[in-house]
Amino acid sequence: MTGQANAGRPNQLLRNLNSKIASIPMILTAVVIFFGGTLWTVFYSFTNSKLLPRLSFVGFDQYERLWAAPRWVISIQNLAVYGIFSLIFSLVIGFVLAALMDQKIRFENTFRTIFLYPFALSFIVTGLVWQWILNPEFGVQSVVRSLGWTSFSFDPLYNSDIVIYGILIAALWQGTGLVMCLMLAGLRGIDEDIWKAARVDGIPMWKTYLLIIIPMMRPVFITTLVIIASGIVRVYDLVVAQTSGGPGIASEVPAKYVYDYMFQAQNLGQGFAASTMMLITVAIIIVPWAYLEFGGRKRG
Amino acid sequence: MADTTALNARLAPGPQGKKPRPILAPRNIMLYGALIFAAVYYLLPLYVMVVTSLKGMPEIRLGNIFSPPVEITFEPWVKAWSTACTGLNCDGLSRGFWNSVRITIPSTIVSIAIASINGYALANWRFKGADLFFTILIVGAFIPYQVMIYPIVIVLRELGLYGSLTGLIIVHTIFGMPILTLLFRNYFASLPEELFKAARIDGAGFWMIYFKIMLPMALPIFVVAMILQITGIWNDFLFGVVFTRPEYYPMTVQLNNIVNSVQGVKEYNVNMAATILTGAVPLIVYFISGRLFVRGIAAGAVKG
């Protein structure tokens, strides 16, 4: 397609002018916001900006302060716990559901609609519903107690040791449908002959899945992994709605730290440093993936 | 029973001529048992929401959250819509609903219009450097929003748009751009090249080809993009808080303010009614669009 665009040859700049004009919004977004904005934030994270951004450099001061702050450390720990469990459970539940859906079942559409509808809901709605279900006075805990098990205790949202798992339950409810859909698409992409061959060789079904199908679905798994992971780093609305970071600071997450310092505590420098740390986290996930995905293959 | 099994075997595209299994085989019981168990887990919160919103407060205090309402009342819904309080003003969610409408409609239109033209330019009228910008755009989709929020605040403030609806529409356009551009670029690139060439030979230019040929052919992908944007923008919370003044807060923000406000007695039924009302728009879009939604999220999954 590039051929005919390069066919005429008057002025370099005027060539394909309409296309360039039409691409101005994209160019501005890419260069000014995505590239420039990111650099700007990283740059200003080395200043001691408070209410307004100012250019007085303090080196790594903000980062030292950041890692000395208990709230940030808790945020990172929460993100790690939430992230690891969220990855494992999303992949396992998503894959198992997809494998079940792939058994040529009836009512497939109905089941898919049910598994996926939470994904259409916002994190705010998700957080508020689960806040209500996990309410110790009226929710699951009180229902189990009223059935006779009076010592039953399940109040994740009011117990700072396990609050992050309460958020995890809600997040899994919202997001596993998507993972299921992606996995199902992957399973449908597997050649029927593989299954036939495995059946002829007498390999049990679970073994076929574990040793043949899953290794074959590596690209799907990696893509899903990246999608889940970049969602995890961003988790914000869910926590705001479900616990507002409480009890105390037990369920704080990095994205919330950034928002609070930028727009409420008027400590921009801290906000910039924290958001730069988020950027680094994402880069650690994305760069190896992008390298694997696009590094070997020639693009375009 | 018998004919459904036969139907099942006939519909199944897989290996033919296999011995048909009885519908109550242990394998099927396990399979459907697991699926139904999962389905109940996914449906439970929706059920609890609806049931709670139809009860009166005394009943909620006495009963358990899973029991159906003894006395159905729609009062919580009316209250959630028109009189629930967020801080100072008490006009319910209706204000947030209309704000969300005023945000979602123009944002959806603007972002799709711009992204479709971008995608078209990238697919059919590539210029030098276009791929570089596109790569930055796609990589940018993975950068946490928090990193770019403050620079955008500054840009919008300089333009005098910070806090206004226009500002928020621009923000949604910016963050919707990577995925939408990708969607349209891939779609236009998949159309037969001869179409484009023929139009070129007939003397049609950039805009002519876009409006007369590409746009009419791309209607399905426009619908996918619309589903993606309507649900995404309606469900947005972060941009709503950061980029608008309280009088323009979208529905999600207002919902959160109503439910998590500290003053007064907690009215769980009103809260749940408000929650359903806020979730209703994307849910309706989801149930109507069905398969297209799946296609949209499969494409839009990159958005996280």
Do A176 and A115 contact (CB within 8 A), yes or no?
yes
Helix (H, G, I), strand (E, B) or coil at B89: strand
pLDDT confidence of residue B102: 93
- A279 contacts B42? CB cut-off 8 A: no
Q: How far is A208 from chain B (nearest CA, A)?
A: 17
Three-state secondary structure along A160-183? CCCHHHHHHHHHHHHHHHHHHHHH
Model pTM above 0.95:
no
Which one of 1.10.287.130, 1.10.540.10, 1.20.1440.230, 1.10.3720.10 gives the CATH number of domain B94-303? 1.10.3720.10
Give the homologous superfamily in CATH for domain A65-295.
Answer: MetI-like (1.10.3720.10)
Helices of type H across B125-267: 130-140, 145-159, 165-190, 193-201, 206-209, 215-217, 219-235, 238-243, 251-259
Which tokens go with B140? Answer: 């940018």
Q: What is the DSSP letter of B18?
A: P
- B282 contacts A120? CB cut-off 8 A: yes
Which tokens go with B80? Answer: 């959630």
Q: Which of B39, B207, B282 sits opposite A18 (nearest CB)?
A: B207
pLDDT tens, position by position, A213-241: 899 888 888 888 888 887 888 889 999 99
pLDDT confidence of residue B1: 42
- How far is it, in rounded angstroms, from Cα A271 to Cα A253? 13
Helix (H, G, I), strand (E, B) or coil at B262: coil
Query: pLDDT confidence of B168, banded at 50, 70, 90?
Result: very high
Sign of the alpha-carbon dihedral angle for B114, B118, B124, B125: positive
Distances (CA, A) of A82 to A248, B45, B119, B289: 18, 21, 36, 32
- B133 contacts A26? CB cut-off 8 A: yes
DSSP percent split of chain A into helix, strand, coil, nearest 5: 70, 0, 30
pLDDT tens, position by position, B104-147: 999 999 999 999 999 999 998 888 888 899 988 888 888 889 99
- How far is it, in rounded angstroms, from Cα B241 to Cα B163? 10
Q: What is the mean pLDDT of chain B?
A: 85
Q: Where in chain B is the domain with CATH 1.10.3720.10?
A: 94-303
The string over A74-88, giving b where at least 16 C-beta atoms fall within 10 Å of a residue's C-beta and e elsewhere, is bbbebbeebbeebbe
Which residues of A are less than 8 Å from B234 in CB distance? Answer: 122
Instruction: Please give the residue of chain B at the shortest CA–CA distance from A300.
Output: B131
- How far is it, in rounded angstroms, from Cα A111 to Cα A123? 22
* ipTM for the complex shown: 0.85
- A125 contacts B278? CB cut-off 8 A: yes
- How far is it, in rounded angstroms, from Cα A67 to Cα B242? 25
Q: What is the mean pLDDT of residues A148-152?
A: 81
Burial class of residue A223 (count of CB atoms within 10 Å of its CB; 0-12, 13-18, 19+): middle
